[in-house]
A and B are shown apart, each in its own frame.
Chain A
Amino acid sequence: MNTVNAVALAPFIMLAASLINGIFGRGMAPAISGMIGSVATGLAFVLALVSFAGFQGEAVRVVLWDFLPNLPVAFAIDQLSLLMVLIITFVGLLINIYSIGYMKGDEGLPRYFSGLNLFIAAMLVLVLADSFLLLFVGWEGVGVCSYLLIGFWYRERLNASAARKAFIVNRIGDVGFLLAMFLTYRTFGTLEIATVVQAAPLMVYGSATLMAIGLLYMLAAAGKSAQLPLHVWLPDAMAGPTPVSALIHAATMVTAGVYLIARTAPLFAHTPEASAVVAWVGALTAIIAAFSALAQKDIKKILAYSTISQLGFMFVAVGTGAYWVAIFHVFTHAFFKALLFLASGSVIHALGGEQDIGRMGGLGRRMRVTGTTALIGTLAIAGVPFLSGFFSKDSIMLHTFTSDLLIDYGNYALFAILLITAVMTAFYMFRWYYRVFGGETRMAAADYGKVHESPPVMTVPLVILAVLSVVAGYLGMPEFIARSVIHDWLAAPTASGATFTHVSVATEWLLILASVLAAAIGLGLGWFLYVRSDGSQARRIGDSPVGAASRHGVGFDIAFNWAVVRSADAISGGLALLDREIVDRGMTGVVRRTTFVGRLVVLLQSGHVRLYALTMFAGVTLLALIVLLAGVLA
């Protein structure tokens, strides 16, 4: 028997787990809800492993059932989708387990696990889909689950509007996805990804149609992966429970856009303009989001902006044509960002809901496991050598530097932007770590004394993720040191024809030195501002206009409020006026005239029976006369 198909069952298991929790959840003991989720995700992970073990190197297509002519519901199992499934189910498993501890005692527990597992089901459909249409089903599915889980504590007005914001902003990207599908079908006559991807390189290089398709998919990806200017929903999405932020808004869903572009790699590699747009959007997102992260005060918002920034890195990677590098960064980022989110969840849990880093500090001594693992995550994302983030980020920088695809579109400028972003990344992550875990506490002594490490059900996932945050990078070492396992694994599905200029080993060392220096400068700056000089200088910068700009996310929300919300209000206000003054007034006029005539006629209703009788006789007589006269005249 061919075991490679096993993974096709995984989405259905997750769906079943979600339904059981959703339908029967109220009647079950709270502990069982989480158990169902963890067992189902564990099973899905095992199935993914079985498929992985049985994988023969050839992409496999599993047709589930016929849907439309020539468009069955089918899964494509190849190296790329398998890797994504492994990431999703593994991180999903850890987060399911962690949630048992984190969400303990919440009255909406079955609803939570139902949403979480439905999300995993939809995400699996998304990555396994073999056609754009099925991919879109998963795409919308994860969007709905994201909405449901951001607004999980829906009784708070802010949470509900954050959920709506995420949904509406994503909708803009989804319009791009739909238009892209229409255009794809018109151009290629099919929505099957494999066919489209084979046919795309046969078209004229840089063809306008391909570019339009590419840009529309890029719009969709920008919505889902929170890229400029559609990134505004992600910081607000932190209103959801922290494990949700870790799974959906850091490790998996937001990487769907990167996955989509990597899936359609040949299409993008064939249109340098579209690729350039992707790369530049990514680079600008990376640096603006990193800047916005510098002065945030919320423990999770720093990580949210950091996620946007890292997604920007991934966009640059797919823009340069280094699709496997982007997926490599998805892979490493999934571990260290999930770790960082779960660590902050552990802190929030221990402090009873406190999220302001201004009221933390010194927690590393009270929460040894959380503090240590968070430090590993911080160093990994900052790009400290020998940790996973260093390898993937360095790979992105290298490929930006050497990309042939972007040679006319400023790849050195992109490289410079990424380098500056790397400095900022190291700085804001140091600030995040030190303000939460390091130094003296800024909490009340009594509260500080009560802080305890989280239960093992939460710390064990942290430890596992910390280990992976260290070792995951060794799968993608620079080629001149060791074979890049992940490159070889992803070579087939992301083969695109994009080429890279060969550079000498010395240059590669120089680039590595540059990114190590960037990390060192960032961390050093953080150390200087917060450890060496008691934070008063940092406060002064934070209070300056620059700090305010950072805290407000460079004003995108304000701009959108002016450009979209206010103008929509103005337009609808005008339409309301039109409705009131013309439509309503016209209707009222008709009603008034009818009433007037009615008032006149009603006077005949006098109540005098004999008057009625007289009227009747007069009428009948008149009719008889008419009939007679008509007879006479005829």
Chain B
Amino acid sequence: MVPTEYYIVLSAALFVIGAAGVLTRRSAILMFLSIELMLNAGNVALAAFARQWSSAGMQTALSGQSAVFIVLAIAAAEVAIGLGILVAIFRHRASTEVDELSEVRY
């Protein structure tokens, strides 16, 4: 069996890539993509731990996997709303550069 640590390293790597993407990208769509990456990094970690505990014979093992589904559902909802907003913004100003979207401030 592949050791859990490998999955955790993978998860951490994905998360950092995602975070770096969110911070460096200016395009809202790419930021979105990076956020999805971070969410799925979390999912990998959850699934990995769930597998470890179930092989150890613990009853709570499935809760990790259920959490993954909840995250997926939330991600889907987020995408639905987020993309909707993005489309609206794009229609309005023919660009999705977030640095230009700074009207909402003090």
Contact = CB atoms under 8 A, between A and B. Distances in A.
A and B from one complex: yes
Interface of A: 602-603, 605-610, 613-614, 617
A-B pairs, 4 with minimum CB distance: A607-B105, A607-B102, A602-B106, A605-B106
Nearest to A613: B22
Contacts of B22: 610, 613
Contacts of A605: 105-106
Interface residues of B, number: 12
A8 to B, nearest CB: 76
Interface in B66-106: 98-99, 101-106
A610 B23 contact: yes
Contacts of B26: 610
Nearest to B19: A617
Nearest to B104: A607
Given A608-B102, A609-B101, A613-B22, 11 more contacts: A603-B106, A605-B105, A605-B106, A606-B102, A607-B103, A607-B104, A608-B99, A610-B22, A610-B23, A613-B23, A617-B19
Contacts of A606: 102, 105-106
Nearest to A605: B106
B24 to A, nearest CB: 8
Contacts of A613: 22-23
A623 to B, nearest CB: 15
Nearest to B28: A609
Given A608-B99, A609-B98, A617 B104 contact: no
A617 B35 CA distance: 13
A608 B100 CA distance: 8
Contacts of B106: 602-603, 605-606
Contact of A610 (B98, B103, B104, B105): B98
A602 B102 CA distance: 15
5 contacts: A603-B106, A606-B106, A607-B102, A610-B22, A610-B98
Nearest to B35: A613
B65 to A, nearest CB: 25
Nearest to B105: A607
A606 B101 CA distance: 11
Contacts of B19: 617
Given A608-B99, A609-B98, A614 B23 contact: yes
A243 B105 CA distance: 74
Contacts of B104: 607
A442 to B, nearest CB: 80
Contacts of B103: 607
Contacts of A610: 22-23, 26, 98-99
B93 to A, nearest CB: 15
Contacts of B23: 610, 613-614, 617
Contacts of B102: 606-609
A609 B32 CA distance: 12
A603 B106 CA distance: 7
A468 to B, nearest CB: 86
A607 B98 CA distance: 10
Nearest to A604: B106
Contacts of A602: 106
A612 to B, nearest CB: 10
A366 to B, nearest CB: 85
Nearest to A617: B19
In this complex, the member of A606, A610, A613 whose beta carbon has the largest number of chain B beta carbons within 10 angstroms is A610
A609 B105 CA distance: 10
A628 to B, nearest CB: 14
A144 B47 CA distance: 83
Contacts of B99: 608, 610
Contacts of B105: 605-607
A149 to B, nearest CB: 63
Nearest to A621: B19
A610 B22 CA distance: 8
Nearest to A608: B102
Contacts of A617: 19, 23
Contacts of B98: 608-610
A608 B31 CA distance: 14
A618 B46 CA distance: 24
A289 to B, nearest CB: 74
A614 B104 CA distance: 18
A605 B103 CA distance: 11
A613 B20 CA distance: 11
A160 B106 CA distance: 55
B64 to A, nearest CB: 21
A608 B104 CA distance: 9
Interface in B13-64: 19, 22-23, 26
A614 B26 CA distance: 13
A619 to B, nearest CB: 13
A609 B103 CA distance: 11
B17 to A, nearest CB: 13
Nearest to B98: A609
In this complex, the member of B26, B104, B105 whose beta carbon has the largest number of chain A beta carbons within 10 angstroms is B105
Nearest to A620: B19
A220 B106 CA distance: 66
A381 B67 CA distance: 104
A503 B22 CA distance: 119
A610 B25 CA distance: 9
Contacts of A609: 98, 101-102
In this complex, the member of B19, B102, B106 whose beta carbon has the largest number of chain A beta carbons within 10 angstroms is B106
Contacts of A608: 98-99, 102
A605 B102 CA distance: 10
Nearest to B101: A609
A69 to B, nearest CB: 68
Contacts of A614: 23
A523 to B, nearest CB: 91
B56 to A, nearest CB: 23
Nearest to B22: A613
A554 B105 CA distance: 74
A361 B51 CA distance: 119
Nearest to B24: A610
